[in-house]
Amino acid sequence: MALVMKFGGTSVGDGPRIKSVADIVLSIKDSGEMPVVVSSAHSGITNMLFEAANRALKGDKQAAESVRARQKEIIASLDLDETLVDKELNKLEEMLHGVRMLGELSPRSLDTVVSFGERMSTKVIAAHIRSRGRRAEAFAAYDVGLTTTRRFGQARPLPDAAEDINQKVGEILKNEVIPIITGYIGKSEDGCITTLGRNGSDYSAAIFGAAIEAREIQIWTDVPGILTTDPRVVPSARLIKALSFSEASELANYGAKVIHPSTLTPAVEKSIPIRVKSTMEPSGNGSVIIPQSQRSEEIVKAIAHKDGITLVHIHETRMLGRPGFLSKIAKVFQIHKIDVDMIATSEVSVSLTVEDTSHLDRAVKRLERFAKVTVVHDRAIVCVVGEGLAETPRTIARVFDAMANIDVPIDLISQGATRLNLGLVVPAKDVKNVVNALHQELFPE
Ligand code: ASP
Ligand code: MG
């Protein structure tokens, strides 16, 4: 069976890291499975390419120099042919020359400029594997079927792409070649290079994994997997062995640094598990995100937290008990394009949280036409996540016991509509204390 293995920028960030990646990939090949590698650019290169495009726009003739230097350094450290990516570097120079001459940088040109990161890193990885006497070849995603919409910077695969990918990648695997495919990029039907958005390589991995119906999609990174909470807040945070897609989504929404699950939907639709693993610790099992819901004995999987939250209390003054209060409020937030995260209501009042406060003043003015409004800044959301939480009052009681012990006031409580999260709004200054107390209670050592 085939296994999609995606490596992030840090994992392919220098010669020694690329060697470990090759070790990992080859050990899978030797175990009898067929690795399909999806790779990011070497860490830092994509940012340099964005910067190069902007410098070319301002007239800089040397805009590509930092990219060239870093790329050449990596190639030299692996003893590869120094001209390995000269074709790409020259094309990049040509593009940047065009940008400079025209004094214009369209989203379309920008996507082409930044596509070179992955187009070069995959060539380096494939050449290194070949230098070890094994068969590997670099492919631009669009040469193995990834055709996308024309939305530059945020392209999406076209409906026919999956079938095309399956056929083309299948052909390569039949020849016992390890394909090293570019993450992040694709091409429109009329031949323009596109990108899927920053950090898009996870999405590429999900697209390829779903298309070839891989046994598993592995996201190789520099952390051991997904942890029970932020290790900067709780150093004893532990690895989560398995979590459901819904749990991972809740965690990501509430600030956890997990891969963003929206990028995994192609894999989830095909019920393909996604495993997050560390290249520093390849023998570890990492964390696996499974498409189906699955309750575990301990119920709670993780605690996420998010700072920078503002709480808005809206108290109805005039239309006591009349219907339509909620929709009036919703409309105000809609008009001012403010995203609401958590919400709690009573007959005559509504409390909600927002993150982006740039238009809040105007929204408050409008709300004050029919309600009394109080805005409380410097809040944080702490979110306890686990399948079955809503049906397990004993666990919920433990959460509130822990809160009682540290005596931190709770501004708002929300048991999510997904029934697997319990959100608490607390003063931002207390968030570390809260997360530590909850972690100690729910994940005792
Ligand atoms: N290289 C791209 C970026 O830095 C895509 C990725 O790393 O996933 O955004
Ligand atoms: Mg990256």
Residues with CB under 5 A from ligand 2 (ion): 9, 40
Q: Which residue's alpha carbon is at the smallest distance from atom 2 of ligand 1?
A: 199
> For the residues of 30-52, what is the DSSP string, one character each?
HTT-EEEEEE-PSTTHHHHHHHH
Give residue 222's pLDDT. 86
Please report, for residues 32, 89, 122, 131, the alpha-carbon distance to residue 327 in angstroms, rounded to integers and kept in the order given. 58, 56, 52, 65
Give residue 182's pLDDT. 98
State in Å: Cα 194 to ligand 1 middle: 13
Q: Using a cut of 0.75, tell me whether the model's pTM lies above it.
A: yes
What's the CATH architecture for 2-222?
Answer: 3-Layer(aba) Sandwich (3.40)
Nearest ligand, measured from the Cα of 50: 1
Question: Where does residue 371 fall: left (phi above 0), alpha (psi -120 to 50 degrees), or beta otherwise?
Answer: beta
Ligand 1 touching residue 9 (CB < 6 A): yes
Give residue 1's pLDDT. 87
- Position 290, amino acid: I
Q: Which residue's alpha carbon is at the smallest distance from atom 5 of ligand 1?
A: 199
Ligand 1 touching residue 183 (CB < 6 A): yes
Minimum-distance ligand 1 atom for the alpha carbon of 47: 4
Q: List, in sequence order, every residue forming a beta bridge with 2; answer none if it has no partner.
A: 34
Give residue 279's pLDDT. 93
Q: Domain 302-442: give its CATH superfamily.
A: VC0802-like (3.30.2130.10)
Give residue 253's pLDDT. 83
pLDDT digits (tens, 9 = 90+) for 174-228: 999 999 999 999 999 999 999 999 999 999 999 999 999 999 999 999 889 999 9
Closest residue by Cα to residue 363 from 408, 403, 333: 333
For the chain of 445 residues, list the mean pLDDT of each consecutive stretch of 10. Answer: 96 98 98 97 98 98 97 98 98 98 97 98 98 98 98 97 98 98 98 97 97 97 92 94 92 80 88 94 94 84 95 81 80 94 87 94 95 96 94 94 96 85 96 98 92
Residues 126, 129, 130, 136: is their CA dihedral positive or negative?
A: negative
Tokens of 4: 């999609």
Give residue 293's pLDDT. 79
Q: What kind and span of H or E run contains 93?
A: helix 86-102
State in Å: Cα 8 to ligand 2 middle: 6
User: What is the distance between the alpha carbons of residues 61 and 13, in angstroms, rounded to a whole number?
Assistant: 26
Give residue 297's pLDDT. 82
Q: What phi and psi, each to the nearest 5 degrees, are found at residue 147?
A: -95, 140
Q: Which residues, 6+ apart, have CB-to-CB distance to 334 below 8 Å?
A: none
> What residue spans in the chain does CATH classification 3.40.1160.10 cover?
2-222
Give residue 322's pLDDT. 65
Give residue 43's pLDDT. 97
Closest residue by Cα to residue 14 from 124, 165, 142: 124
User: What is the distance between the alpha carbons of residues 4 and 275, in angstroms, rounded to a whole number?
Assistant: 10
State in Å: Cα 7 to ligand 2 middle: 10
Ligand 1 touching residue 13 (CB < 6 A): no
Give residue 147's pLDDT. 98
Give residue 2's pLDDT. 96
State in Å: Cα 114 to ligand 2 middle: 11
Strands 340-345 and 371-385 come out as unpaired
Pocket test for ligand 1, best of 7, 11, 12, 184 (most atoms within 8 A of CB): 184
> What residue spans in the chain does CATH classification 3.30.2130.10 cover?
302-442
Helices in 150-294 by DSSP H: which ranges?
161-174, 201-211, 245-253, 265-269
